[in-house]
Amino acid sequence: MRQELRFPFYAKFALVLFILIAITFILYVGQSVIMPLLMSLLFAILLRPVSNFFERKMRIPNIMAALITVILFVLVFAVLFYFISIQVLDMTEDWNKMKTNLHQHYINLQAYVKDTFGFSRKEQEELINKAADSSVESGKQMLGSTLSSFTDSVMNLVLIPVYIFLILLYRTHFIKFLCKLFDKKHHKTLEDIMGTIKVSVQSYIVGLMIEFVIVSVLTALGLMIIGVKYFILLGLITGLLNLIPYIGILIAGVLTIIASLTGTTDLSIIAGIIIVNVIVQLLDNNLLVPMIVSSKVEINAIASIIGIIVGGLLGGITGMFLAIPIMAILKVIFDRIDELKPWGYLLSNDLPKSFVFRKKKVAPVPEQES
């Protein structure tokens, strides 16, 4: 009879830390390869029902069904990109007016600094020139990193559709590989994990798309009511950035304020923008997210925030977007493996009212007869 090998707690904890460090290192070093693959995997899971429809209902061969599915996917994003490009071109037509408004805001800011802190405009100009000279070198480095990031983004735009097509084409091959990787007694658990991951990821991404549309429409309507000129473009940008939980909406708010100030010299527009963003976020966080998004992944807030920060450090914006679905996939796996269930509970959004350690009852010692 084979004896099961048991490790003490400190050995298990050290092994877990080593695995986490190894995975983090691999993700950081190989982010240019791993991040597009993970993104493609998520979209492939989302598009699998479409490919199955063409195969089973339309009687189209597997390779053609996968190709048509990817083409439709690319067309949807191409239409969205084209619509945003039109809005940006409309915005650039007012470039001269935007420069005039920005110059007026700069003059008003200088006057405010002079009245509040006592710095003359000449002193302010000198400080700005010194700061500009010291930031030239950092600006060159930033430009280099921006160009590198742009090149990587263009490469990913080409690679992701290719990866999606190949994953859809070879999905049965990958499933058979997983079955060969694990013993037959674990196949039922493996099937349960894969089925739950498929449903969870599909529901989550569809929920994000619905949330994107609603947030974009609500933000655009609110900005239109308060008189922001580029309300359609800013509404779309807010909806897109809102796909990054917690952090994206802050970036969207700052961009909206900056873009709005270029279209008018009235500073009161800032208050209106803040009110619109707060109202939309209240509706999003209290209605849309609980009903459409959070119910699909069941990840608690602290795990989500930490995951998004770590994802941003490892993979930038792509890593931040992937953080929540990857944690949802990990939670599905953890919940179905006995040794990993505590980690699945750690990620869950279960909030018990209280917890009391059960005291071990000690049997009374019988009195000895004298």
3-state secondary structure of 200: helix
Summarize the confidence of residues 3-22 as an average pLDDT.
77
Residue 266: which of 96, 101, 106 has the closest Cα? 101
Least Cα distance to 322 among 244, 259, 265, 254 occurs for 244
Check whether 360 has a pLDDT greater than 50.
Answer: yes
> How many domains is the chain built from?
1
Looking at the domain assignment, is residue 326 inside a domain?
Answer: yes
- Average pLDDT of the segment spanning 30-36: 86
- The pLDDT score that the predictor gives to residue 5 is 64
DSSP line for 15-49: HHHHHHHHHHHHHHHTHHHHHHHHHHHHHHHHHHH
- Mean pLDDT for 122-137 is 63
pLDDT at residue 131 greater than cutoff 70: no
Mean pLDDT across the chain: 79
Q: What is the mean pLDDT of residues 16-39?
A: 86
CA dist 62 to 74, 167, 170, Å? Answer: 19, 12, 10
For residue 348, list its beta bridge partners.
299
- Helix ranges (DSSP H) in 183-247: 187-226, 231-241
Does residue 139 register a pLDDT over 60? no
- Kindly state the average pLDDT of the residues 309-320: 83
Q: pLDDT value at position 167?
A: 92
Tokens of 368: 């000895």
Q: Burial of 94 by CB count in 10 Å (0-12 exposed, 13-18 middle, 19+ buried)?
A: middle
What are the tens digits of pLDDT across the range 141-151?
A: 544 544 455 55
Of 322 and 259, the structure prediction assigns the larger pLDDT to 322
Q: Establish if 83 belongs to a structural domain.
A: yes
CA-CA-CA-CA dihedral for 101, 106, 112, 118, to nearest 10: -160
Cα 130 from chain centroid (whole Å): 38
Domain span at residue 73? 20-128+156-347
Q: Which residue has the higher pLDDT, 190 or 89?
A: 190
- Residue 112 reports pLDDT greater than 80: no
What is the reported pLDDT for 142?
46
Enter the DSSP assignment of 361.
P
Categorize the per-residue pLDDT at 70 as very low, low, confident or very high, splitting at 50, 70 and 90: very high
Q: Does any domain span residue 141?
A: no
- The DSSP output letter for 5 is P
| pLDDT interval class at 20 (50, 70, 90) | confident
Tokens 């048991």 belong to which residue? 6
Our CA dihedral for 68, 214, 230, 267, rounded to 10 degrees, sits at -150
Residue 225 lies in a domain: yes
| Dist. CA 154–CA 170, nearest whole Å | 25
Question: What is the C-alpha separation between 206 and 293, in angstroms, rounded?
Answer: 9
pLDDT in tens, 192-208: 888 888 888 888 888 88
- Output the pLDDT for position 143: 44
Examine residue 1 and state whether it is found in any structural domain, yes or no.
no
CA 135 to chain centre: 31
Pick from 290, 288, 312, 310: nearest CA to 239: 288
